[in-house]
Structure 1
Amino acid sequence: MTVTEKDRDILARTLWGEARGEGLAGQIAVAWAIRNRVDDGKLKSWWGEGYSGVCQAPYQFSCWNKNDPNYAYLSGAMAIPFRELAQCRGVADQVTDGRVPDPTGGATHYYAIAMPKAPAWAAKARQTLKLGGHVFFKGVP
């Protein structure tokens, strides 16, 4: 699959919105969960096509919801701090180019532990990794 500059930019911005406080390992895990969705040909109609399509699909990553406080930064209305975005761009490049292995074991979903309660889908899925503030899953119905 060809990865465009737009794909890389949207993935980096999504990583900033979803995992900027997680450090490098957590950002890599979130990027892999996104890549696993991109690579899952069966569900493209639901998740979108390519990195930008998957990241910006409605109701998939809350940082892209217009009422989310991160949205102003992701949309470009406010500037993301240069160093933070540069790290996310580096992670996006490493994951899309396959230079780092998937630490999630094929996860396509995750949620933040800080959420008041786990999403309903987590009860029927297989947990693959707990890292930092996120729990990762695959086999989500």
Structure 2
Amino acid sequence: MTLIKKLILVALVASAGVSANAVYSVPSASAAVVLQQGAVNGDVWDVQYRLRTLGYYEPSIDGKYGPITAAAVRNFQTNYGLNVDGIVGANTWDALRKFSVNQAEMDVLAKVIYSEARGESFEGQVAVGAVVMNRLKSSQFANTIQGIVFEQGAFTAVSDGQYNLTPDSTAYKAAMEAVKGWDPTGGALYYFNPRTATSNWIWSRPQTVQIGNHIFAK
């Protein structure tokens, strides 16, 4: 760069009232995007999907933040003890991510239900999904569905490859019920098959209920 060009650049920076060494922050990809009426984007689609899994939103998921979406958000905020303003800010995002799932997470949940419990009753399949959701709400485990399911050794079906099977519609229905809050396990964080479990630790856990071939425990 020539001396003249350098002088011009310095003059331009000075006239803008900033330092030539200024550092500009770039929003994190994980930063919460504030959503309110009038917004049209994929984040709105995500919110609508999450609200639907919880039973707050029934219309088509279109990515448009209109009055119906705002009303659904307000109902969610009311029931979860949040500031009721119909706006999805950081606190509402946090609650949605803690108590609901997006489409990709629903796929993961359905896959783990199918691979772990496809031979069980519908209640037994919901129960496996409920354990995942209970872990999501617990500080003892990862704070994402993927983190919970793919924790090393957490689920036999992930370890032996059965997780890669394609889940059926029943598994998706069971996943939806678990996300909506049906918990046949009584708050269990673990489950095991009493015919095959050899871990003294898992047998030592306080048991809540047996559903089909699984004993559920805290």
TM-score bracket for the superposition, by shorter chain length: 0.7 to 0.9
Residue type at the aligned position of 1:63:
A
1:30 to 128, 146, 151: 128
Q: Give the Å deviation of 1:109.
A: 0.4
2:199 to 105, 119, 125: 119
The root-mean-square deviation of aligned C-alpha atoms, in Å, is 1.6
Q: Give the Å deviation of 1:69.
A: 4.7
The residue correspondences of 1:1-141 to structure 2 (distance < 5 A) are: 1-2=96-97, 3-40=101-138, 42-44=139-141, 48-65=142-159, 68-73=160-165, 80=166, 85-98=168-181, 100=182, 102-115=183-196, 117-138=197-218
What is the DSSP-based 3-state SS (H/G/I as helix, E as strand, rest coil) of the residue aligned with 1:22? coil
Percentage of matched positions with identical amino acids? 29
Q: Say if 2:194 and 2:214, in contact at 8 Å, map to a contact too.
A: yes
Distance 1:123 1:72 in 2: 28
Which is further off, 10-19 or 52-61? 52-61
| 1:64-109 deviation digits (Å, cap 9, x = unpaired) | 11xx151442xxxxxx3xxx521111111111122x2x11111100
Greater relative CO (CA pairs within 8 A, separation 6+): 1
Distance 2:190 2:158 in 1: 16
Residue type at the aligned position of 1:124:
S
Q: Say if 2:111 and 2:163, in contact at 8 Å, map to a contact too.
A: no
What is the DSSP-based 3-state SS (H/G/I as helix, E as strand, rest coil) of the residue aligned with 1:105? coil
Q: Highest Rg: 1 or 2?
A: 2
Residue type at the aligned position of 2:200:
A
Residues matched between the structures, number: 120
Runs of 4+ with >4 A deviation: none
Q: Say if 1:113 and 1:134, in contact at 8 Å, map to a contact too.
A: yes
- Name the structure with the higher strand share: 1
Stretches of structure 1 lacking an aligned partner (at least 5 in a row): 74-79
TM-score of the pair, normalised by structure 1: 0.77
